[in-house]
């Protein structure tokens, strides 16, 4: 299987190259040349996320260095449950937050790092540079722990993120390092960009990113939509609708791809926060990126969804509706779900629950609906606890984060500082001769 750029201005590459590259050289995003069809009958045999994941992913890694290890990578990466919970008020909630860092980012990050560890070797290393304060940074750090050939360097702005967020970026062991940058979030991102555009540095350390445009994060995310859809269809005889809380459209494109591969997925509805880019696109038929607006569902504060180009390439009419949920409606929905369903939702999940409530009732009754629960509410306790008047308990995995020791290095927001840090820690496996 080969991967092509959405812009079509560069040659097709193998999965290994597409994973390593992140962005395609023409500025586009890599997409599979075709989406292989999976015979639905084949999905009756395997059970569980690991087996269904490897059934779906195997065709994409044919002729790749990963061809013979996909099964093992899936079994190892997806080793936590994804419960599908029926709420008394009608919808089902697919809990994607039982991984080690409490958000669905664990699926993509765990798969990607295991893949990187196979693709890289001591002479040809991979160093993931990640500038993020959100769920991705923690998931990447955790996924990288113990890797042999791939390393992670996480940059975050000093004094700009919550104590728990900082902890979740700084608590991972080798080969993970956390750099606290004197500057704001934009300074961290600019620094990472500078490093990537320095070809000597990029080559020497095998720099790459693990952001939401990575096809290696997107492909594994098909697994849980597929598994949940197969289970729901077995229960009801009908393909379920999906409601997906959305920011950069990674989760949504993964669901659309799974449907194109033949999985029993009905309509796909996007739930966004107040950021209007996607709802305007759906209403007016024209896409216009906008500056991001800060909201309570901050992992979805995106004005220019990075996977839009992929959606437009793969299935431009694949989204049935986009429902935009403002902060006051997020708060009201968290309260109501707590009182009606005795369920505690994070602000992102709440956009999905609110979108469900706003569907025409005929649509709700036509089929079962699955809402992606993208993060554990404990991660957003400062927002959720005052609304429900209850203390939220962390999952055992999140409690473990609180107990770990943290390590961090302070640097200035300059390429000199970043470079000398990379040199000093020997993050480079490639020796210059």
* Binding interface with ligand PLP (CB under 6 A): 103, 105, 134-135, 212, 245-252, 299-300, 348, 374-375
For ligand PLP, the closer of residues 180 and 376 by Cβ is: 376
User: Measured between alpha carbons, how far is 257 from 253 in angstroms, rounded to an integer?
Assistant: 6
**What's the half-sphere exposure (Cβ side, CA atoms, 13 Å) at 58?**
12
CB of 252 to ligand PLP, least distance (A): 6
Q: Which residue has the tokens 């994804």?
A: 82
User: Measured between alpha carbons, how far is 72 from 292 in angstroms, rounded to an integer?
Assistant: 39
For ligand PLP, the closer of residues 326 and 417 by Cβ is: 326
CB of 246 to ligand PLP, least distance (A): 4
**246 and 271 Cβ atoms separated by less than 8 Å:** yes
For ligand PLP, the closer of residues 38 and 300 by Cβ is: 300
Parallel, antiparallel or unpaired: strands 126-131 and 150-157: parallel
CB of 424 to ligand PLP, least distance (A): 32
CB of 103 to ligand PLP, least distance (A): 4
* Tokens found for residue 284: 């007016």
- Per-state percent for the chain, helix, strand, coil, to nearest 5: 45, 15, 40
For ligand PLP, the closer of residues 6 and 246 by Cβ is: 246
For ligand PLP, the closer of residues 204 and 246 by Cβ is: 246
How far is CA 274 from its chain centroid? 20
For ligand PLP, the closer of residues 103 and 201 by Cβ is: 103
Closest CA to 154 of 183, 125, 133: 133
User: Measured between alpha carbons, how far is 180 from 141 in angstroms, rounded to an integer?
Assistant: 14
CB of 307 to ligand PLP, least distance (A): 7
For ligand PLP, the closer of residues 306 and 419 by Cβ is: 306
Q: If you count DSSP H runs as helices and E runs as strands, how many of each does the chain have, helices first? A: 19, 13
CB of 227 to ligand PLP, least distance (A): 18
User: Measured between alpha carbons, how far is 329 from 273 in angstroms, rounded to an integer?
Assistant: 10
CB of 147 to ligand PLP, least distance (A): 22
User: Measured between alpha carbons, how far is 109 from 139 in angstroms, rounded to an integer?
Assistant: 6
For ligand PLP, the closer of residues 4 and 256 by Cβ is: 256
Q: Which residue has the tokens 């437009």?
A: 312
**3-class DSSP state for residue 93?**
strand
CB of 291 to ligand PLP, least distance (A): 17
User: Measured between alpha carbons, how far is 187 from 193 in angstroms, rounded to an integer?
Assistant: 10
User: Measured between alpha carbons, how far is 155 from 158 in angstroms, rounded to an integer?
Assistant: 9
For ligand PLP, the closer of residues 134 and 183 by Cβ is: 134
CB of 137 to ligand PLP, least distance (A): 11
Tell me the Cα Rg of the chain: 21
User: Measured between alpha carbons, how far is 224 from 311 in angstroms, rounded to an integer?
Assistant: 19
Looking at beta carbons, which residue is closest to ligand PLP?
250
């Amino acid at each position: 299987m080969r991967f092509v750029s959405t812009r079509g201005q560069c040659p097709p590459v193998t999965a290994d190259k597409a994973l390593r590259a992140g962005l395609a050289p023409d500025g586009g995003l890599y997409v599979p040349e075709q989406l292989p069809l999976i015979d639905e009958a084949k999905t009756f045999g395997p059970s569980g996320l690991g087996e269904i994941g490897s059934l779906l992913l195997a065709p994409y890694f044919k002729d790749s260095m990963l061809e013979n290890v996909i099964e093992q990578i899936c079994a190892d990466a997806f080793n936590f449950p994804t419960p599908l919970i029926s709420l008394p008020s009608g919808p089902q909630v697919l809990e994607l937050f039982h991984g080690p860092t409490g958000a669905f980012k664990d699926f993509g990050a765990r798969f990607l790092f295991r893949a990187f560890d196979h693709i890289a070797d001591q002479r040809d290393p991979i160093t993931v540079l990640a500038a993020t304060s959100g769920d991705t940074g923690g998931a990447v750090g955790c996924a990288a722990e113990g890797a042999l050939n791939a390393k992670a360097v996480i940059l975050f702005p000093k004094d700009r993120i919550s104590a728990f967020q900082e902890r979740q970026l700084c608590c991972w062991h080798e080969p993970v390092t956390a750099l606290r940058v004197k500057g704001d979030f934009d300074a961290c991102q600019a620094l990472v960009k500078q490093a990537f555009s320095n070809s000597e540095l990029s080559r020497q350390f095998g720099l790459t990113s693990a952001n939401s445009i990575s096809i290696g994060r997107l492909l594994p995310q098909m697994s849980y939509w597929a598994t949940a859809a197969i289970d729901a269809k077995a229960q009801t005889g009908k393909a379920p609708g999906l409601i997906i809380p959305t920011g950069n459209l990674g989760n949504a494109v993964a669901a659309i791809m799974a449907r194109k591969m033949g999985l029993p997925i009905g309509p796909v509805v996007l739930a966004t926060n107040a950021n209007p880019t996607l709802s305007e696109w759906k209403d007016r038929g024209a896409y216009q990126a906008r500056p991001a607006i800060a909201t309570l569902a901050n992992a979805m504060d995106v004005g220019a969804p990075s996977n839009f180009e992929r959606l437009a390439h793969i299935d431009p009419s694949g989204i049935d509706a986009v429902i935009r949920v403002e902060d006051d409606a997020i708060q009201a929905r968290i309260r109501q779900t707590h009182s009606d369903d005795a369920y505690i939702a994070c602000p992102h999940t709440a956009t999905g629950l609110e979108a469900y409530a706003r569907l025409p009732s005929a649509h709700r009754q036509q089929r079962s609906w699955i809402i992606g629960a993208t993060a554990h509410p404990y991660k957003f306790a400062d927002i959720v606890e005052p609304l429900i008047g209850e203390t939220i308990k962390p999952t055992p995995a999140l409690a473990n984060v609180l107990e770990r020791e943290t390590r961090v290095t302070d640097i200035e927001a300059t390429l000199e500082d970043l470079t000398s840090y990379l040199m000093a820690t020997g993050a480079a496996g490639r020796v210059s001769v």
